[in-house]
Structures are given as C-alpha cells and as structure tokens.
Amino acid sequence: MPTLRLEEYAFRIMENQLRMQEWLESHQFNWGLDLTAGRLTFKDAATGAPIADLPMQLIGSQSDETNTWLWSWANENGGDGLPSSVTRLAASVRDFAAASGADSRFTNADTFPLPDANFGYEMSTVCAGFGGAFGYYRCPYDGGAAWVVIEAFPEAAAFPASPLLPTKAITGAISTFTLDHRAATQAYLGTPDASGVYANGMTVTFDAQGRIGNMQMTLNPAPKPASPLDAVKRFFGG
C-alpha cells in the first residue's frame, strides 16, 4: 500500500545512494539537466562523452539565500513553466497527501521555510520511495539546489557493492534522519527468523528506546578454489 512514511523507504534508498556514490567516485564527471526531456546526464569530464543518461523527475528546489523550499509543481518561474511530465511524481505525492490527510508539507503551494537542514534529502527519499524509483540527486546552482529523483540507474545498480552495504545504508540513514528504527528495519529487512537473523544474514538489536544498538553481518566465506588433487581424491574415493 502506498505511504509517505519515511521509514518505509529510508534504508533502501540510502543503499541505492551509496551504490550511486561508489559508481560516481569511479568516474571524473560533469552533470547536466534537461528539464524538457526529463533527463539527468553524467558526462566524462575529459571527453564530454555521456557515461549515464537517466530518466528523472524534478521534486523541488531550495534557496540557500532565503533557506526556503518550493515544490516543482508549484514553480511558475521556469520560463514558460515546467512541463508536467517532469513534475509528475511530485504532483502524485501532493495528490496522495491531500487525499490521505498526510503532512501539509507535501501540499504547500507556497515557498516555505526549510524545517531542517536535511529536508531536501527527506523529501527526495520519500518521493523516490513512493514512486518506486532508484534514488535522487542534488543539483547545486548559485544560491541553491534542485532536487531530482532518478527513476532508474542501471549502471549504479549493477556496480559491485560491498557485502557490508546494508549496514552502511542503515548507519547512514539513522545518522541523517529522525525516524522509527524498528519500523524502518522491518520495511528494509522484513521479519527475522526465530534466532533473530534476517534473510541477508544480518542481526540487529535495539535498545530500550527502540533505537538500533548493534548490527552484525554474517558473511559466507568465498568458495575455496578447486585443487587438481581434488579430482584425484574423488577418483580414489578420498
């Protein structure tokens, strides 16, 4: 069921953000936005050749000068107006929030003060999760930043990731957002088995306030390389 609860998406989107970060750090790149086509493009800094051309949705913009936020669907200053195709996701979040009586921050058509320094990260995470998207990207410009949701990023999704990525994702999210740790863990990892181990091999313990107190990841050892002697042993029944 759709929801605008941060807990439902925080850890999954943070995992994808870390995947994207690792992929980007393996390249020297410049980025560009095409608001008409709804594309975020990363290009090789030396050659200018595209290395990733991604479908995106514009979520909102923040002003560092006035410390305010404006939703993309409420932005009337984009030349002839922003095309509805690039504000579709933010508008669907607004409509869902209005119909479900969710937080009025999602439906405010005016420029309003940023509630906290991580507001752009939170809204982008919720919008990405609500839309089933990969993640988001902060596009800075003089005096502020535009926040876009990346609908798909196959290059980053396929990039080899550390087996400790889930623990890094959880640590990053709980360090960034104020949220219900138990609910976020349930949304991300599901239900543990009778011994308290989740399907991915993690064990998570909570303190008396319901905050994550400890995490452990059980890693399966890499398969042992086959030895020529193994065939001999099998031949002689060893």
What DSSP assignment string belongs to 72-127?
GGG---STT---HHHHHHHHHHHHHHHHHT--GGGT--S-EE-SSTTHHHHHHHHH
Give pLDDT, residue 136: 98
Name the helix (H) or strand (E) containing 49: none
Could you report the per-residue pLDDT of 78-123, keeping only the tens digit for each? 545 789 999 999 999 999 999 999 889 999 999 999 999 999 999 9
Could you report the per-residue pLDDT of 137-189, keeping only the tens digit for each? 999 999 999 999 999 999 999 988 888 999 999 999 999 999 999 999 999 99
Q: Shortest CA distance to 123 belongs to which of 159, 97, 86?
A: 97
Give the angle 16-20-22 at the CA atoms, nearest 5°. 115
Compute the distance between CA of residue 203 and CA of residue 173 in angstroms, rounded to an integer.
17
3 state SS for 177-206: CCCCHHHHHHHHHCCCCCCCECCCCEEEEE
Give pLDDT, residue 103: 86
Name the helix (H) or strand (E) containing 216: strand 212-217
